[in-house]
Amino acid sequence: LKNVLIVYAHQSSGSFNAAAKDVAVEVLKASGCTVDVSDLYAINFKATATVEDITVGVKDPDCFCYAEETKLAWERNELSSDITKEQCKLKKADLVIFQFPMYWFSVPAIMKGWIDRVLTLGFAFSPEKCYGEGFFKDKMAMLSFTTGSHQSMFSANAINGDMNITLWPLQNGILHYCGFKVLAPEIFWAPAHVSRSECSTMLNHWRIRLGSLMSEKPLVFPPLDYFEKETGFQLKPEIIEKFATKEYGLAVGVHQGKKVPLNNQMRSSGCKCCSNRTVMPK
């Protein structure tokens, strides 16, 4: 692990997110990493994916398709400079950390804009090169974020629902889809509603974890060879049969109508029942 990119989205330098970002920069630099920070609010990063992201005329202005047009522009080096600058940082990075406050069970709009605009078709993904075969399969990525609600409100029996389910679109549908090896998220539960001492404790845990990120095993997702292209990427009959007697499904999204596997998208709590669920059943 040599090059780290932190994509950071918070408006205030006095925020807990800023503190978490600063801890990451400090610890990773001390361990010999080169750390790049994309401070999205500071650079006023444009959130909307529009025709202005292409510096030369588009192929079909009457029926503009952002994905196809930006693919052509990327191939011709005709993307706007703010996009190409971020793509250059991403190409260098061995690890990408997304640091943000969770807004409406997802990332802030400015960070979603970074995802929409920087992870262009052809550069970050293609229908032929995705998931385990994705372009970024030699890179790692992780989410590090704050919540507005306490941890107790994000359980399978709580009003906000299971955080594992909330994280599936971000971790599987974006990061894993682009090929990243996805490290379990660092979740700072409701820092605005706990004491300064508890905030310090959360940051200290983050500091300790940062020191051993290289040794962490990534989250496990069902591999591509479990699915059959000819049937629209459905699970192969032999895979369905192999796991038919299992109590839990393969993953949060690929649950086969069974119980959602525990801790599939988060770090193990340390108990055996949860840690067993973070690996694919044999």
Residue 214 banded pLDDT, cuts 50, 70, 90: confident
Residues 42, 89: Cα–Cα separation, whole Å:
17
Mean pLDDT of 24-37: 96
**pLDDT above 90 (res 168):** yes
What's the confidence (pLDDT) of residue 268? 55
Where does the pLDDT of residue 160 fall: very low under 50, low under 70, confident under 90, or very high at 90 and above?
A: very high
Do residues 6 and 38 lie in contact, with contact meaning Cβ atoms separated by under 8 Å? yes
CATH number for domain 3-215, candidates 3.40.120.10, 3.30.1330.10, 3.40.50.360, 3.30.930.10: 3.40.50.360
The pair of structure tokens assigned to 129 is 């090169």
Residue 269 pLDDT exceeds 60: no
Indicate the range of 22-36, 82-96, 169-183, 253-267 predicted with least confidence.
253-267
Angle at 16 between CA 12 and CA 19, to 5 degrees: 90
Output the six-digit token pair for 262: 């525990």
Element (H, E) at 81: helix 81-92
Q: Over the chain, what is the mean pLDDT?
A: 93
Name the DSSP class of 259.
Answer: B
Q: What is the mean pLDDT of residues 130-155?
A: 96
Angle between helix 81-92 and helix 109-118 axes, rounded to 10 deg: 80
**Of 91-100, 209-218, 227-236, highest mean pLDDT:** 91-100
Average pLDDT over residues 197-215: 94
Return the sign of the alpha-carbon dihedral for residues 252, 256, 259, 261.
Answer: negative
Residue 3 has pLDDT above 90, yes or no: yes
Is residue 280 a contact partner of residue 220, using CB atoms and an 8 Å limit?
Answer: yes
Domain ranges of the chain: 3-215, 224-278
Is 252 in contact with 164 (CB distance < 8 Å)? yes
Beta strand 95-101 with 34-39 is unpaired
% of the chain exceeding 70 in pLDDT: 94
Q: Calculate mean pLDDT across residues 181-188.
A: 97
Q: What is the pLDDT of residue 132?
A: 92
pLDDT, average across residues 80-97: 98
Give mean pLDDT, residues 92-119. 98
